[in-house]
Amino acid sequence: MRASKETRPEAWPSAFRSERSEPVLLAGPCHIETETQLLETAQHLKNVQANGILKVCIWESNARPGNTEDMASMRLTWLRKVKEKTGLRTACAVSNALQAEEALAYDVDILCINGHTTVNPFAVQEIADALRGTTTPVLVSNPVYPNLGLWLGAFERLRNAGLQDLGAIHDGFAAEDRALYHHHPKWEFILGLRNELPEMPILCDASTIAGKRSLLYPVAQRALAYGINGLVLDVNLSTDGRQHSRQELMLQELDLLLNALQTNAKLPETTVLVDQLDTLRQKIETLDDELLELLLQRAALAGQVSSYGLGNTKATQLNNSEKQLQISRLLAQGNSILSGAFVAETDVYDSAAVAC
């Protein structure tokens, strides 16, 4: 089954840039249970943003063998019916060439290459070959681990296959220590991609980075501060009892989030100096995030250490000489980082002595 070679309408010079000031919105459920669920979600999305894109999960990577293939055809059938009824553009993630061809056979408008596929140049090349000769818009997620070269290589392979309408999805990087985020955002990767491909539209998958609804606003707002072109959000009729329910928004919550977000529009007279200062500010904010992650990890380790002291006081108490050595070491480290005037002004020595 070959990919469709129909020409994309001229009305969309890029599927990932909005003609208005508002960001492009890709939204939809992580898990499709019924056609009615998908239709109601799509209708609400259209009411919220008429130019929104309905993004759904067709092939579930955690499904048992056989189940995902059987469900995929049914979900694609539902998706095509919903597209016909609402007029919304549709998108889904693909992991290989066969999935890409099947999605296009069901008139899916936009294909998304997930991060697990981006790390595999051979899989990306197979998808590029399957789409060769089409005008299919393609979004490429960053690799699951920080490697800008793999991300750039994926775009190069797709462009070499003649695909021009490309965009990036920044959804962070998987890590075992999920103290704050589900995926570490590492915002500097947006800057790295923009330096290499300044015209590339970039969307942020705020739901995957946040991992829970309470962090969606700060993650989305930070992404907008970086000048991204759109947001990817998980939205569903209900958020009960599903694997990704912690990060999914209910339909009415989507309205609240979008109304709360504010885009930072640049003035025409913005100077190079202002841009440079903004870049430095964004790097500082990235370091703040990393510092918070380290503090949370340290607190967890400290808790483990303290647990060893239960019922064994001698194992955890330091004698006076060891305490003095520890204080001296910490103060020496502080002096190497902070100026003497700052230390004297803030009474670091006195505070350290009292604390110990």
pLDDT for 101-112, tens place per residue?
999 999 999 999
Asked whether residue 342 falls in the same domain as residue 204, the answer is no
Burial 177-196 (b: 16+ CB within 10 A, else e): eeebbbbbbbbbbbeebbee
Residues 226 and 325 in one domain: no
The amino acid at residue 171 is D
202-205 and 166-170 strand pairing: parallel
> 217: which 2 tokens?
């606003």
Instruction: Clarify whether residues 51 and 136 are in a common domain.
Output: yes
Whether the predicted pLDDT of 193 surpasses 80: yes
What pTM was estimated for this model as a whole? 0.71
Q: Are residues 116 and 239 in the same domain?
A: yes
Residue listed under structure tokens 């920080």: 146
What is the per-residue pLDDT across 246-272, written as a single tens digit (0 to 9) for each? Answer: 668 888 888 889 888 865 544 344 445
Alpha carbon distances (Å) from 103 to 1, 12, 90, 94, 161: 11, 20, 10, 8, 18
Which has more confidence, 122 or 16? 122
Q: How confident is the model at residue 278 (pLDDT cuts 50, 70, 90)?
A: low
Assigned domain for 173 exists:
yes
Query: Does residue 92 sit in the same domain as residue 216?
Result: yes
Q: Is residue 324 part of a domain?
A: yes
- If asked whether residues 243 and 118 sit together in one domain, one would say yes
pLDDT number for residue 178: 59
- The chain-wide mean pLDDT, for the chain, equals 80
Residue 288 domain-assigned (yes or no)? no
- In a domain, residue 17? The reply is no
Query: What integer pLDDT is reported at residue 356 of this predicted model?
Result: 35
Instruction: Give the range among 15-29, 98-112, 189-203 with minimum mean pLDDT.
Output: 15-29
Specify if 251 maps to a domain: yes
Q: Give the chain's domain count.
A: 2
Each as own residue / partner, the long-range contacts of residues 219-226 (CB below 8 Å, 24 or more positions apart, any chain) are 219/181, 219/185, 220/257, 220/261, 221/261, 221/262, 222/185, 222/187, 222/285, 223/170, 224/23, 224/261, 224/262, 224/263, 224/264, 225/264, 225/282, 226/187, 226/190, 226/191, 226/282
How far does CA 177 lie from the centroid of its chain?
17
- Domain hosting 200: range is 24-260
For residue 91, the domain's CATH number is 3.20.20.70
Minimum mean pLDDT range among 9-13, 190-194, 225-229, 335-339: 9-13
In degrees and rounded to multiples of 5, residue 203 shows phi and psi of -115, 155
Phi-psi region of 186 (alpha: psi -120 to 50; beta: other; left: phi over 0): left
Q: Could you say which of 260, 282, 305 is where a domain stops? A: 260
Integer-rounded Cα radius of gyration of the chain: 24
